[in-house]
Structure 1
Amino acid sequence: MAITEIMKAAEARAKQMGLPYEGALLPAEAYQLLQSAPGAKLVDVRTRAEWDWVGRIPGAVEIELLTYPGSRLNPSFLAELERQVDKEVPVMFICRSGGRSHNAALLAMQAGYTACYNVLEGFEGDKDAQGHRNTRGGWRAGGLPWVQS
């Protein structure tokens, strides 16, 4: 799928979901944009513990939205984002399953980022019938690149 088609689909999805930011991407779409859209950045907002124990996405900008332990808002989130990501490029946010990345996209949009996208399903996806992640949706289950320590 071409970049323009992906962005149009993401924008339509966001509009349908009532989201105020630019778009909502599926993991495979986010990967395609990361590979093809000039300057596009993927920002992984999970915690350090998740990166270390669950896995990392090669090339992603890693900035905790919430601290671990404690799950408190990282007071330097926006400063770190502004230091590492230009406000004019497409910026895609990913977390475990899409909740924190939604909040990160909102914060970035309010801070002046012009093309914010949430990666739906996140890195691990939703739980399956047995309560397990990584089997239904998400970056990992989609066979996209990731590494584990």
Structure 2
Amino acid sequence: MSDSNSTLPKGKQTALGLYVTADEAFKMWQADPEKVIILDVRTPEEFLFVGYPTMAWKIPVIAQTYEWDAEKSQFPMKMLPDFVSRVSEVAQPGDLILATCRSGGRSAIACNLLAKAGFTNVYSIVDGIEGDSNGSSESTPQGGWKNSDCPWTKKLTPERMLLPTSD
């Protein structure tokens, strides 16, 4: 567990400077499952096809769009404006929250949004669900919830899923 990490890439750094690995996060949850909130901020497609921590609240921070961006050759993601209000349904500003995504970028975004809203004890799980790879197609991800043998499932639990409201 670290209170700051200047060796993290800029995209994984947070305003609060609170970081844990997936393995550390699971141990924190095991020590106090009634007080530690695991927050998975990935998309519903990721919950469905990749799986998620069994105890996690699934609250996406960003959504996949389906409008092709020819300049960037991708389908861009968009921020979900009601993220903080959805998190506020299950957590208070002083609660211990451990946020995760695929590999630490979106969890940093979520931590920063929550910090801006007055949450003070939000850690980013820096290796996420799948861990980091070195960028080659043959690389094996390092770290991550699934690679650390932490409990996960693909069985959806809608009662622990707070999705954005439809427009």
TM-score of the superposed pair, with normalisation by structure 1: 0.84
Moved more, 59-68 or 130-139: 130-139
Task: Read off the aligned partner of 2:98 and give its amino acid letter.
Answer: M
Q: Give the structure 2 partner of residue 144 of structure 1.
A: 150
CA contact (8 A) 2:63 2:79 kept: yes
Query: Please, which moves more after superposition, 126-135 or 39-48?
Result: 126-135
Counterpart of 2:50? 54
With over 3 angstroms needed to count, the CA separation of the structure-2 counterparts of 1:34 and 1:132, relative to structure 1, is farther
In the TM superposition, residue 16 of structure 1 has moved relative to its aligned partner by 6.6
Residues 125 and 138, structure 1, Cα contact 8 Å, conserved in 2: yes
| Higher share of residues assigned helix | 1
In terms of fraction of residues, the more strand-rich structure is 2
Contact 1:14 1:21 survives alignment (8 Å): no
Count of residues paired in the alignment: 140
2:104 aligned partner:
98
Q: Is the 8 A contact 1:49 1:68 kept in 2?
A: no
* Structure number with bigger Rg: 2
Could you list the runs of 5+ residues in structure 2 that have no partner in the other structure? Answer: 66-75, 156-167
* Cα contact 2:111–2:122 (8 A) shared by 1: yes
User: What residue in structure 2 maps to residue 87 of structure 1?
Assistant: 93
16 and 131 in structure 1: CA distance in 2 versus 1, 3 angstrom threshold: closer
Runs of 4+ in 1 over 3 A off after TM superposition: 13-19, 132-135
For the residues of structure 1 that align with 2:88 and 2:14, how far apart are their CA atoms?
Answer: 22
* % identity of equivalent residues: 26
RMSD in angstroms over aligned alpha carbons? Answer: 2.1
1:22 is displaced (CA, Å) by 4.7
Using a 3 Å threshold, how does the CA distance of structure 1 residues 16 and 126 change in structure 2: closer, same or farther? closer
Structure 1 residues 60-109: Cα deviation after superposition (integer angstroms, max 9, x where no partner): 01111101235111121011011111211111110000000001001101
1:144 and 1:113, CA in 2 relative to 1: closer, same or farther beyond 3 A? same
The higher relative CO (CA closer than 8 Å, separation ≥ 6) is in 2
In structure 1, what is the Cα distance between the partners aligned to 2:86 and 2:139?
29
Contact 1:90 1:116 in 2 (8 A): yes
Q: Which amino acid in 2 is paired with 1:33?
A: M
